[in-house]
Amino acid sequence: MAKPKKPLEAVKGKDGDLRPIDTMLFMQAKALETLFTVLLHRGMAQDSLPQYQAHLALALKAQAQCRATLQTIVEAKNPRAVAFVKQANIAQQQQVNNGTVPRAHAEGLANYSNELLEDGRHEQQERMVPGAQAAPAGGDTAMEAVGKVHRAED
């Protein structure tokens, strides 16, 4: 008794030729397109709402099946590129450190305070204190004499 063939082998031609399957899927898509058109015309001719809805629902199902069949043909002819990724970052904000040893959070760090606030020699110290108003800044006195020497005559 002969061993039954697998479904794909029964349709496949010699040397792995998939043209018979391609033809079958295209004919199926054409049949579904024709069914969609017929059901759409019948639905539009209905007077009562239940028959109208039933015909249009079946027509839209036939259209969806036609689209899915055509998409199958396209994907069979042009397969999607497959990328084997070692690691995928799915999170919006994520940091990944591969191959590093995690260190303790603040271990061995000295507690440094802001030297500018402690050092009284800086003239900006008063402005850094919240609520304090800065002293008005004077003009550049070294540049004032230039106007008297190199003044334009007009």
pLDDT of residue 76: 85
pLDDT digits (tens, 9 = 90+) for 8-41: 555 555 677 788 888 999 999 999 999 999 999 9
Q: How far is CA 25 from CA 5, 7, 9, 69, in A?
A: 20, 14, 16, 6
Of 20 and 132, the structure prediction assigns the larger pLDDT to: 20
pLDDT of residue 18: 81
Of 125 and 61, the structure prediction assigns the larger pLDDT to: 61
pLDDT digits (tens, 9 = 90+) for 74-92: 988 888 887 776 666 566 7
Region 46-53: mean pLDDT is 93
pLDDT of residue 19: 86
Distance between CA atoms of 122 and 69, rounded to whole angstroms? Answer: 78
Distance between CA atoms of 92 and 105, rounded to whole angstroms? Answer: 24
Query: Which backbone phi and psi does 88 adopt, to 5 degrees?
Result: -115, 130
